[in-house]
């Protein structure tokens, strides 16, 4: 399939004219969650308005090339480096994280962090959202992840089961375009429909993975009385591989290519650029622009970019949202903006697990359960790094092709957190800034040049092995997003304040992970170089040992779904218990983050919710009066600075 991002689609809707339109649905956020819902509602003939905080030109060819150029030229190639700084719709950056000292929150960056634990977790506020720079690992959750409270007495149960979600996982794998093989992904209770195959065949394991597998496969691990054998397993990936002819009962699958340009050499198969984070140069990797481009082919989908939702207005009598007030800024950095309003039958917040509760709380909507913004979850990453005895050719392939998943589930979760393990094809890049730091060290401290430098580089870089343990963090109401009028951004929006601590349950998993890494390195004959710096912003001590803990970018929990309105914010359809026509969608709805990267599950949940929205739209056809008391005046304004 080849869909091009329709030229001018981000500009074709006149914001001022939309204020008098009653849309079937108003969606806040043009990331994967918003894009999927927009595409499914419009396909069923419903009119949709997407409000996107970031600038909208980015998915055209020029825009995407601009991202690439900014990345190549950046002196710091951190994971937001391709994306423009937009003071009117700011975003967190991995390099923002600072050590937090008790009693003094760090307000130096967009997310105000009140600690006690600091995080470098990020998301991207551009059209297409955070999938512009995600890594695109797409594992399903395990069946047991939906029943954590019942099975292990930890975390919460979902109002849904794996089987409820399975058909939507299938559909999400089609939408994202997942490359994987069923035989590799069937483990720990994950099952697939009879005859199911993924849209594309699995990406081959890297040479580095294969070297690790030689020694790790078959390694026995005993935990909570159960012995299991480790194995290096390929990850399912949201990037284009070789289409599987058996897909869809033999009809096959046509990969979705680049949407911002004609497909000459771009948009095809993953070429192994090893740059999936922060940006795939050829769009082999899925980004939500692909879903948006398809949705915007329909005239029913309107998009207003540079539109930051500011306030959700409700009618206390009808218990319905009446309108969303937003600020439409003139230029990314200018203080000029116009206040506008969007009206619809349904309102869908798809701005992610930090921005959804931020907007609700800034609108004074704390939820009758008081849980809005609470139970913030993410993954806690622990890295361990070593040098293999032989050259493994590190720094080739996608960021990560293989990992170890055998400790994602099991009875031990009664006592300690589960984790999955990534084998990083980009060496010690994440832990220690390799390979540039190695180069600098060899030249400046090692006095190397010429042949000795070349040998030194191969010796130091091409043998690198970095394991990343992605450890689960259970829901805890005191880990939360709040707002405070004392902290606002340029446009006058209240900024998110994050209060976050890592529970002991997770730290037990972290400590176990470190022990396991030592065993793995010993089995490989690798030199362990792991050393945790007490001055690191995410340094955490547990049982006398210190660890560097990093953020996972897998935001969840802040508007948790449940069966009971007093202990959850949304129902299984992601519909807000308090307001009949309001949906809060995305990772925020997830009651457990468990050990899978969240986006495939977010996509599946949104595909499921789209059905509920269509049912609701068809059931509710009463006339809605769109002149409300709270209606904001549309007039140009300036932010007082």
Partner 1 sequence: MTAHSFKEFLLLSVDLTAFEETDLLGTGLAHQYLAKVRDACGEGVVTALLGAHRAARADAAGDAESPDRTLLDRALRHRIFSDDRLGPVARNVIKLWYAGMWYGLPPEWTDCYEARTAAETSTVTAASYQEGLLWRAIAANPPGAKAPGYGSWAQPPRIEARYLKEATQ
Ligand X SMILES: Cc1cc2nc3c(=O)[nH]c(=O)nc-3n(C[C@H](O)[C@H](O)[C@H](O)COP(=O)(O)OP(=O)(O)OC[C@H]3O[C@@H](n4cnc5c(N)ncnc54)[C@H](O)[C@@H]3O)c2cc1C
List of residues contacting partner 1 (CB under 8 A)? 68-69, 71-75, 77, 203-207, 210, 241-242, 269-275, 279, 281-282, 390-398, 401, 425-426, 435-436, 439-440, 443-444, 447, 449-451, 453-459, 461-463
> Closest CB to ligand X among 160 and 598?
598
Q: Which of 160, 282, 292, 377 binds ligand SF4 (CB under 6 A)?
A: 282
The token pair at 511 is 């400590």
Our measurement of the distance from residue 624's CA atom to the centroid of its chain's CA atoms, rounded to an integer in Å, reads 35
Contacts of 540 (CB under 8 A, 6+ apart): 117, 502, 507, 510, 546, 547, 549
- Classify residue 511 by its DSSP letter: H
Report the residue closest to ligand X, judged by CB: 31
Pick the stretch among 4-12, 294-302, 444-452, 597-605 that binds ligand X (CB under 6 A): 597-605
Q: Distances from the Cα of 34 to the Cαs of 117, 497, 609, 617, in angstroms?
A: 30, 24, 11, 17
Residue 123 binds to ligand X (criterion: CB under 6 A): yes
Least Å distance, CB 284 to ligand SF4, is: 4
Tokens coding 375: 């139970």
Q: Which of 36, 280, 312, 324 binds ligand SF4 (CB under 6 A)?
A: 280
- The one of ligand X, ligand SF4, partner 1, none whose footprint includes residue 239, by CB under 5 to 8 A per kind, is ligand SF4
Encoded tokens for 358? 């931020």
Binding of residue 587 to ligand X (CB under 6 A): yes
Q: For residues 405 and 230, what is the distance between their CA atoms, to the nearest angstrom?
A: 8
CB of 74 to ligand SF4, least distance (A): 16
| Of 81, 88, 185, 275, the one binding ligand SF4 by CB under 6 A | 275
Which region among 183-191, 279-287, 433-441, 624-632 touches ligand SF4 (by CB under 6 A)?
A: 279-287
Nearest Cα neighbor of 532 from 520, 549, 518 is 549
Q: Which stretch binds ligand X (CB under 6 A): 107-115, 133-141, 329-337, 631-639?
A: 133-141
Rounded CA separation 289/291 (Å): 5
Question: CB under 8 Å to 386, separation ≥6 — which residues?
Answer: 464, 465, 466, 521, 524, 526, 527, 528, 529, 530
Closest approach of ligand SF4 to the CB of residue 439, in Å: 22
Which of ligand SF4, ligand X, partner 1, none lies near 53, with the C-beta cut-off 5 to 8 A by kind? Answer: ligand X
Choose among 524, 528, 431: nearest CA to 209.
524
Name the binder of 122 from ligand SF4, partner 1, ligand X, none, CB < 5-8 A by kind.
ligand X
Q: Which strand (E) or helix (H) includes residue 323?
A: strand 320-329
- In the complex, the smallest distance separating the C-beta of residue 278 from partner 1, rounded to whole angstroms, is 9
Closest CB to ligand SF4 among residues 177, 557: 177
Kindly state the number of chain residues that form the binding site for ligand X, as judged by CB under 6 A. 42
Question: 46 vs 125, which CB is nearer to ligand X?
Answer: 125
285 is an interface residue for ligand SF4 by CB under 6 A: yes
Q: Is the bond preceding residue 56 a cis peptide, omega within 30 degrees?
A: no
Q: Which residues of 40-75 are buried (b: 16+ CB within 10 A; e: fewer)?
A: bbbeeebbbbbbbbbbbbbbbbebbebbeeebeeee
Helix (H) or strand (E) holding 588: none
We find the least distance from the C-beta atom of residue 432 to partner 1, in angstroms, to be: 15
Residue closer to ligand SF4 by CB (options 24, 426) is 426
User: What does 71 bind: partner 1, ligand X, ligand SF4, none (CB cut-off 5 to 8 Å by kind)?
Assistant: partner 1
- Sites for ligand X among residues 207-266 (CB under 6 A): none
Piece of the chain touching ligand SF4 by CB under 6 A; list 67-75, 110-118, 270-278, 401-409: 270-278
**Binding residues for ligand X restricted to 18-37, rule: CB under 6 A:** 28-34
Q: Is the N-terminal amide bond of 275 cis, ω within 30° of 0?
A: no
- H helices, E strands: number in the chain: 15, 21
For the chain, the first-to-last Cα distance in angstroms comes to: 48
Identify whether the C-beta of residue 109 lies closer than 8 Å to the C-beta of residue 495.
no
Q: How many residues does the chain have?
A: 641
Residue closer to partner 1 (CB basis): 141 or 461: 461
CB of residue 281 to ligand SF4, shortest distance in Å: 6
Nearer to ligand SF4, 282 or 585 (CB): 282
Q: Return the range that interacts with ligand X (CB under 6 A); candidates 125-133, 155-163, 375-383, 531-539.
A: 125-133
285 touches which of ligand SF4, ligand X, partner 1, none (CB within 5 to 8 A by kind)?
A: ligand SF4
Check residue 350 for interaction with ligand X (CB under 6 A). yes
360 binds ligand X (CB under 6 A): no
Give least dist CB 276 to ligand SF4, A: 3
Q: Is 271 in the site for ligand SF4 (CB under 6 A)?
A: yes
- Binding mask of the shown chain, residues 193 to 232, with x at each position contacting ligand SF4 by CB under 6 A: ----------------------------------------
Instruction: Kindly report whether the peptide bond that precedes residue 411 is cis, defined as omega within 30 degrees of 0.
Output: no
Name the residue with tokens 């960021």: 399
464-471 and 380-387 beta bridge pairing: antiparallel
Beta carbon nearer to ligand SF4, 94 or 115? 94
Q: Measured between alpha carbons, how far is 502 from 278 in angstroms, rounded to an integer? A: 26
631: β partners: none
Which residue in 67, 71, 134, 428 binds ligand X (CB under 6 A)?
134
Residue 206 sits in the site that holds ligand X (CB under 6 A): no
2 DSSP assignment? -
Site for ligand SF4 in 235-264 (CB under 6 A): 239
* Lookup result for tokens 């026509």: 581
The first and second tokens of residue 345, run together, are 């039958």
Q: Is residue 284 at the binding interface for ligand SF4, with CB under 6 A as the rule?
A: yes
Of the candidates 3, 180, 270, 570, which one interacts with ligand SF4 according to CB under 6 A? 270
Pairing of strands 22-28, 48-51: parallel
Task: Report CA Rg, the chain.
Answer: 24
Cα 598 versus chain centre, distance:
6
Which of 426, 594, 416, 389 lies closest to 515 in space, CA to CA? 416
55, 129, 241, 373: residue in contact with ligand X (rule CB under 6 A): 129
The residue (of 401 and 462) whose beta carbon lies closer to ligand X is 401
Buried b (16+ CB within 10 A) or exposed e, 22-35: ebbbbbbbbbbbbb
C-alpha 454, offset from chain centre: 38
> Among residue numbers 61 through 120, which ones bind ligand X (CB under 6 A)?
79
What does the binding site for ligand X look like in residue numbers (CB under 6 A)?
28-34, 51-54, 79, 122-123, 125, 129-131, 133-138, 277, 307-309, 350-352, 355, 359, 553-554, 586-587, 597-600, 602
What does the binding site for ligand SF4 look like in residue numbers (CB under 6 A)?
239, 270-276, 280, 282, 284-285, 398
């Amino acid at each position: 399939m080849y869909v091009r991002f329709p030229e001018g689609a981000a500009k074709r809707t006149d914001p001022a004219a939309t204020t008098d339109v009653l849309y079937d649905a108003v969606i806040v956020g043009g990331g994967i969650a918003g894009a999927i819902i927009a595409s499914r509602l419009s396909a069923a003939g419903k009119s949709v308005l997407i409000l996107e905080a970031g600038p909208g030109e980015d998915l055209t060819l020029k825009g995407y090339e601009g991202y690439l150029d900014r990345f190549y030229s950046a002196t710091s190639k951190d994971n937001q480096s391709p994306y423009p700084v937009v003071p009117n719709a700011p975003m967190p950056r991995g390099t923002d994280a600072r050590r937090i000292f008790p009693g003094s929150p760090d307000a130096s960056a967009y997310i105000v962090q009140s600690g006690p634990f600091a995080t470098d977790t990020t998301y991207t506020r551009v059209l297409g959202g955070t999938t512009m720079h995600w890594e695109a690992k797409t594992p399903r959750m395990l069946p047991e992840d939906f029943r954590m409270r019942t099975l292990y007495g930890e975390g919460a149960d979902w109002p849904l089961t794996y089987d409820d979600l399975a058909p939507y996982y299938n559909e999400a794998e089609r939408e994202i375009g997942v490359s994987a093989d069923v035989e590799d992904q069937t483990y720990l209770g994950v099952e697939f429909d009879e005859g199911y195959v993924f849209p594309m065949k699995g990406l081959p394991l890297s040479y580095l993975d294969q070297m690790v597998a030689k020694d790790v496969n078959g390694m026995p691990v005993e935990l909570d009385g159960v012995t299991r054998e480790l194995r290096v397993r390929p990850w399912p990936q949201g990037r284009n591989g070789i289409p599987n002819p058996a897909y869809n009962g033999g009809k096959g699958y046509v990969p979705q290519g680049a949407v911002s340009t004609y497909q000459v050499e771009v948009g095809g198969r993953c070429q192994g650029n090893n740059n999936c984070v922060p940006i795939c140069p050829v769009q082999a990797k899925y980004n939500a622009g692909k879903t948006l481009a398809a949705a915007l082919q329909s005239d029913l989908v309107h998009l207003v970019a540079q539109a930051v939702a500011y306030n959700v207005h409700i009618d206390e009598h009808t218990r319905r949202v009446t309108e969303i007030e937003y600020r439409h800024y003139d230029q990314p950095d200018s203080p000029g903006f116009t206040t506008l309003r969007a009206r619809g039958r349904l309102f869908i917040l798809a701005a992610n697990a930090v921005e959804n509760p931020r907007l609700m709380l800034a609108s004074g909507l704390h939820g009758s359960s008081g849980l809005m913004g609470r139970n913030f979850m993410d993954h806690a990453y622990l890295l361990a790094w070593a040098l293999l005895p032989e050259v493994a050719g590190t720094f080739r392939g996608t960021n990560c092709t293989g990992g170890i998943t055998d400790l994602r589930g099991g009875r031990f979760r009664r006592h300690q957190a589960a984790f999955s393990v990534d084998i990083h094809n980009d060496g010690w890049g994440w832990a220690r800034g390799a390979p540039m730091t190695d180069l600098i060290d060899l030249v400046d401290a090692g006095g190397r040049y010429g042949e000795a430098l070349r040998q030194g580089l191969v010796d130091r870089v091409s043998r690198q092995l970095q394991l990343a343990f992605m450890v689960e963090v259970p829901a805890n109401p005191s880990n939360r997003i709040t707002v405070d009028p004392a902290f606002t951004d340029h446009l006058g929006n209240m900024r998110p304040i994050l209060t976050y601590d890592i529970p002991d349950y997770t730290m037990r998993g972290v400590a176990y992970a470190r022990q396991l890494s030592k065993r793995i390195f010993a089995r490989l004959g690798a030199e362990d170089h792991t050393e945790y710096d007490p001055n690191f912003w995410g340094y955490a001590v547990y049982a006398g040992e210190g660890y560097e803990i990093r953020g996972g970018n897998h935001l969840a929990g802040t508007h948790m779904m449940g069966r009971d309105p007093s202990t959850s914010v949304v129902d299984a359809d992601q519909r807000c218990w308090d307001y009949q026509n309001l949906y809060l969608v995305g990772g925020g709805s997830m009651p457990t983050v468990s050990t899978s990267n969240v986006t495939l599950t977010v996509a599946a949940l949104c595909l499921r919710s789209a059905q509920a929205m269509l049912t609701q739209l068809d059931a509710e056809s009463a006339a809605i009066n769109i002149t409300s008391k709270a209606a904001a005046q549309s007039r140009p304004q300036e932010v007082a600075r």
